[in-house]
Chain A
Amino acid sequence: MLWVAIASPLDAFSGLLLSAHMVQHLLLLSVVPPLILLGSPLLPLLRGLPRKFAREGVGPFLTWPAMRRVGQTLTHPLNCWVVMAVTLCAWHVPAMFDLALRSSAWHKVEHACFLGAALLFWWPVVRPFPSRLQWPLWSVPVYLLAADLLNTAVSAILTFSDRVFYPTYLAAPRLFGTTALSDQTSAGGIMWVPGSLVFLIPAAVIAIQYLSPSHLLVRPREFNSARTVGSALLQIQNPALSSVGLFRQSKPTSLVAPKRFDLLSVPVIGPFLRARSARRLMQGVLLILALAVIVDGLFGPQVSSANLAGVLPWIYWRAFVVIALLAAGNFFCMACPFMLFRELGKRLGLRQRSWPRALRSKWFAVGLFLLFFWAYEVFSLWDKPIWTAWLIINYFLAAFAVDALFSGASFCKYVCPIGQFQFVASLVSPLEVKVRQTDVCADCKTHDCLRGNQHQRGCEMELYLPRKAGNLDCTFCLDCVRACPHDNIGLLAVAPGMDVVRDPQRSFLGRLSRRRDMAVLVLVFVFAAFANAGLMVTPISSWPDRIAANLNLSSTLPVTSSFFLALILVPFILVSGSVLAGRSIAGIKVPTFDLISRFSLALVPLASAMWAAHYLFHFLLGWDSVLPVFQRVLGHLGWAVSQSSWGGAGPLLSMNHLRILQAALLDIGLLVTLYLGWRIARVHAPKLRSALAVMAPWGSVAVFLYAFGIWTCLQPMQMRGLPNLMS
Chain B
Amino acid sequence: MKRTSIRVQICIATASLILFGPRDTKGDGGVIRLRGTQGPFSVTLFSSPDVVAGGLADVSVLIQGRESGQVILDADVSLTLSPPDGLAMKQSGGLCGLPTAAMRLPDGINNPASVRATREQASNKLLYAAPVELDAPGDWVLHVVVSRGSDTARFDCLLPVTLESGKLTGVWPYVWLPPLAAAAFAVNQWLRRQSLQKRTSQPAVAQASATHGGTRDVLRRGIGP
Chain A residues engaging chain B, CB cutoff 8 angstroms? 56-57, 60-64, 67-68, 71-72, 74-75, 130-132, 134, 224-226, 228-231, 233-234, 241, 244-246, 301-306, 310, 314, 356-359, 364, 367, 370-371, 374-375, 377-380, 382-383, 535-538, 541, 544-545, 548, 553-560, 618, 621-622, 625, 628, 631-632, 635-636, 642-648, 650-651, 655-656, 659-660, 662-664, 667, 670-671, 674-675, 678, 688, 706, 710, 713-714, 716-725
Contacts and interface: CB of A to CB of B under 8 A. Distances in A.
B77 interface: no
B33 A648 contact: yes
B219 A717 contact: no
A647 B158 CA distance: 8
A721 B188 contact: no
B137 to A, nearest CB: 10
A226 B219 contact: yes
Select the residue from B27, B30, B58, B64 with max chain A CB neighbours within 10 A.
B27
Contact of A558 (B6, B23, B177, B189): B23
B10 A364 contact: yes
Given A131-B225, A383-B124, A660-B174, A718 B192 contact: no
Nearest to A538: B27
Contact of A245 (B3, B25, B130, B216): B216
Contacts of A380: 24-26
B216 A72 contact: no
A717 to B, nearest CB: 5
Given A380-B26, A706-B178, A721-B121, A228 B219 contact: yes
Given A359-B6, A645-B35, 8 more contacts: A132-B222, A241-B212, A244-B212, A541-B26, A621-B49, A642-B37, A646-B34, A647-B158
Given A378-B25, A724-B121, A717 B223 contact: no
Interface string B1-27: 011001100100010011111111111
A312 B17 CA distance: 27
B31 A305 contact: yes
Interface in B133-152: none
B27 A625 contact: no
Given A628-B44, A660-B171, A717 B50 contact: yes
Nearest to B222: A228
A68 B224 contact: yes
Nearest to B172: A663
A671 B181 contact: yes
Interface size bucket, B side? 35 or more
A716 B23 CA distance: 23
A61 B223 CA distance: 11
Contact of B222 (A230, A302, A310, A647): A230
Contacts of A359: 6
A466 to B, nearest CB: 33
Interface string B94-138: 000000000000100000000000001111101101110000000
A358 B2 CA distance: 8
Given A303-B124, A659-B167, A724-B120, A648 B58 contact: no
B71 interface: yes
Contacts of B78: none
A303 B225 CA distance: 66
B29 A720 contact: yes
A228 B224 contact: yes
B62 A306 contact: yes
B223 to A, nearest CB: 3
Contact of A63 (B2, B50, B158, B223): B223
B20 A622 contact: no
B193 A688 contact: yes
Contacts of B62: 301, 303, 306
Contacts of B29: 304-305, 310, 382-383, 720
7 contacts: A132-B225, A303-B124, A621-B49, A670-B178, A717-B48, A717-B49, A725-B121
Contacts of A671: 178, 181-182
Nearest to A56: B192
B127 A722 contact: no
A625 B174 contact: no
Interface in B34-83: 34-38, 42, 44, 46, 48-52, 55-58, 60, 62, 64, 69, 71
Contacts of B60: 720-721
Interface in B170-219: 170-171, 174-175, 177-178, 181-182, 185, 187-189, 191-193, 195, 212, 215-216, 218-219
Contacts of A537: 27
B222 A719 contact: no
Q: Top 7 closest A-B pairs, CB basis? A: A230-B223, A229-B224, A645-B36, A718-B27, A358-B3, A71-B225, A719-B58
B222 A716 contact: no
A535 B28 CA distance: 9
B56 A228 contact: no
Contacts of B28: 314, 382, 536, 618, 717-718
Contacts of A226: 219, 222
Nearest to B166: A656
Contacts of A224: 222
Contact of A371 (B14, B42, B57, B124): B14
A18 B72 CA distance: 64
B152 to A, nearest CB: 17
A305 B50 contact: no
Nearest to B15: A560
B32 interface: yes
Contact of A628 (B7, B35, B131, B174): B35
A31 B12 CA distance: 76
Contacts of A553: 23
A375 B218 CA distance: 65
B157 interface: yes
A541 to B, nearest CB: 5
A659 B175 CA distance: 11
Given A555-B23, A717-B50, A710 B171 contact: yes
Contact of B219 (A245, A557, A670): A245
Contacts of B50: 621, 655, 716-717
Contacts of B33: 647-648
A557 B22 CA distance: 9
A659 B160 CA distance: 16
Contacts of B7: 358
A670 B27 CA distance: 25
Contacts of B221: 225, 230
Contacts of B38: 645
Contacts of B130: 721
A385 B49 CA distance: 19
Given A230-B218, A631-B35, A720-B48, A68 B212 contact: no
Given A68-B223, A303-B126, A720-B48, A556 B31 contact: no
B21 A379 contact: yes
A632 B42 CA distance: 10
Nearest to A374: B18
Contacts of A644: 37
Select the residue from A68, A664, A671, A716 with max chain B CB neighbours within 10 A.
A716
Given A60-B191, A716-B55, A719-B131, A303 B44 contact: yes
